Amino acid sequence: MPDSAPGVVTAPAAGLTSPEPAPWSFERLRRPAESIVIPLAALLVAMVLFGLFMAAIGKNPMEVYGLIYKGAFSSTFAWQNTLQRAAPLLLTALCVALPAQAGLIVIGGEGALVLGGLAAAVAGHALAGAEPLVIQIAMALAGMVAGGTWIALAGALRHYRGVNETISSLLLAYIAIALFNHFVEGPLRDPASLNKPSTMPIGDAVMIGPMPGMDVHWGFAYGIVYCVLGWVLVRYTVQGFALRIVGGNVRAAKLAGLPVGRLILASCFLGGGAAGLAGMAEVAAVHGSANASLIAGYGYAGILVSFIARHNPIAIIPVAILLGGIAASGGLLQRRLDLPDATVLLLQGIAFMTILAAETLYGRMRLFQPKAA
């Protein structure tokens, strides 16, 4: 194989020339532009398809688009709604994106989230009476360690025993939820929680509350910081580079003497830690204790976010906000147009399919190739 890198695909079919206008004047902007223009174009296609579908069932697509915009991005209220819904997705998406750097497809973030929440609730109650800040830090650490360990288990099974991590992480999520229910409804149940079994409350003083000046809880900030740190780690550190080599070719990484096992475990731990932190934020910012409301599917929604972001930690931020916005506007679609909740799922599904289909276009459009090649 002389040269199979995407940059040197020589003659793309003439018909594939992009409809975009004049090429960029700066040669070095071509490549980065590719990873922005392609997903945006895919989204546009998704919106058009969705609009056609809406028209087919007798709704005015323009009105639907208008409501999506109104519900998601048109006002301070809408923005806060959007950001709040994006918050857990930032962290659960990292649970997919970070192990993906090492070539693993982990889809069990839900398990890490609920166990992280449970560990955080236990830590919060065990330390009752200490300084709130101390308790909050302990809760965050407990959540991250619990979630991280859980996903690291899937990584270990893969590395040491060759078990497919996609399946094992999913099955581990079922086990995690079963364990969670067992503890919440059994040994750790607050006897006062009659019809909604919960762990002992951590107390109002320990709750982390909204960020100053807005009605969005701190989980959003945790997510942004974690995404940025994850991006720096993956892009600008030696460890991150080593991780990507493992993801690119494990045999080459082994040949180069890289500690493959440790890198896989570390990426799984950090990813699971992110989901665990999301669980901690649910407990500390929303529910005040661990209960079945934590099992809300954020872990699974994160898979979608990470794939659309092509497992790039920094791209997770806009994608999570976009999906948060779609979720935020879903209510308005239901209320104003009498559309079922599945409408939003449909839009998400169409967007997911078009974006994945657009993946095949990378490196195939001359517009985005530096001329020198």
Partner 1 sequence: MSSSPLRPARRQLLQALAAAGIVASPFGRVFAADKITVGVIYVGPKDDYGYNQAQAQAAAALKKMPGVTVVEEEKVPETVDVQKTMASMIVEDGASLIFPTSFGYFDPHTIKMAEKYPKVRFAHCGGLWTAGKHPLNCGSYFGYIDECQYLNGVAAGHASKSRKLGFIAAKPIPQVLRNINAFTLGAQSVNPAITCQVVFTGDWALPVKEAEAANSMIDQGIDVITMHVDSPKVIVETCERRGIFVCGYHANQAALAPKGYLTGAEWNWLTPYTVHVKDAMAGRPLNNFLRGGLKEGFVKTSPYGAAVPEAGRKAADGIKAKMMKDQYVIFKGPIKDNTGKVAIAAGTEHKQQDVALEAMNYLVAGVIGKV
For the record, the structure tokens of 372 come out as 């020198």
Helix 109-126 to helix 165-185 angle, to the nearest 10 degrees? 30
**Cβ contact 268:99 at 8 Å:** yes
CB of 88 to partner 1, least distance (A): 8
**Closer CB to partner 1, 116 or 288, in the complex:** 288
Q: Is 213 in the site for partner 1 (CB under 8 A)?
A: yes
Q: Is 63 in the site for partner 1 (CB under 8 A)?
A: no
CB of 288 to partner 1, least distance (A): 6
Q: Is 286 in the site for partner 1 (CB under 8 A)?
A: yes
**Closer CB to partner 1, 18 or 74, in the complex:** 74
How far apart CA 67 and CA 61 sit, in angstroms, is 10
Q: Is 186 in the site for partner 1 (CB under 8 A)?
A: no
Total chain residues near partner 1 (CB under 8 A): 41
Interface residue with partner 1, options 197, 276, 302, 313 (CB under 8 A): 197
**Residue matched to tokens 């962290």:** 91
CB of 295 to partner 1, least distance (A): 9
**Cβ contact 32:369 at 8 Å:** no
Stretch that binds partner 1, among 35-43, 69-77, 230-238, 364-372 (CB under 8 A): 69-77
- Other CB atoms closer than 10 Å to residue 359's CB: what's the count? 12
CB of 214 to partner 1, least distance (A): 6
CB of 93 to partner 1, least distance (A): 17
**Closer CB to partner 1, 45 or 286, in the complex:** 286
**Cβ contact 160:261 at 8 Å:** yes
How far apart CA 186 and CA 194 sit, in angstroms, is 12
Contacts of 220 (CB under 8 A, 6+ apart): 83, 84, 86, 87, 90, 211
C-alpha to C-alpha distances, 346 to 30, 44, 51, 78, 363, nearest whole angstrom: 33, 15, 11, 21, 29
Q: Is 292 in the site for partner 1 (CB under 8 A)?
A: yes
- Other CB atoms closer than 10 Å to residue 37's CB: what's the count? 17
**Cβ contact 107:170 at 8 Å:** yes
**Cβ contact 151:106 at 8 Å:** yes
Segment 299 to 358, residues that bind partner 1, using CB under 8 A = 327-328, 331-332, 334-336, 340-341
**Residue matched to tokens 């969705």:** 50
Interface residue with partner 1, options 42, 46, 84, 227 (CB under 8 A): 84
Q: Is 136 in the site for partner 1 (CB under 8 A)?
A: no
Interface residue with partner 1, options 168, 291, 312, 354 (CB under 8 A): 291
Task: Tell me the residue type at 133.
Answer: L
How far apart CA 179 and CA 154 sit, in angstroms, is 17
Q: Is 143 in the site for partner 1 (CB under 8 A)?
A: no
Q: Is 185 in the site for partner 1 (CB under 8 A)?
A: yes
Interface residue with partner 1, options 34, 47, 64, 71 (CB under 8 A): 71
Nearest to 127 by CA among 284, 276, 261: 284
Q: What are phi and psi of 210, to 5 degrees?
A: -80, 160
CB of 118 to partner 1, least distance (A): 16
**Closer CB to partner 1, 21 or 212, in the complex:** 212
Q: Is 187 in the site for partner 1 (CB under 8 A)?
A: no
CB of 285 to partner 1, least distance (A): 8
Q: Which positions touch partner 1 (CB under 8 A)?
A: 70-71, 75-77, 80-81, 84-85, 181, 185, 194-197, 210-215, 217, 282, 285-288, 291-293, 296-297, 327-328, 331-332, 334-336, 340-341
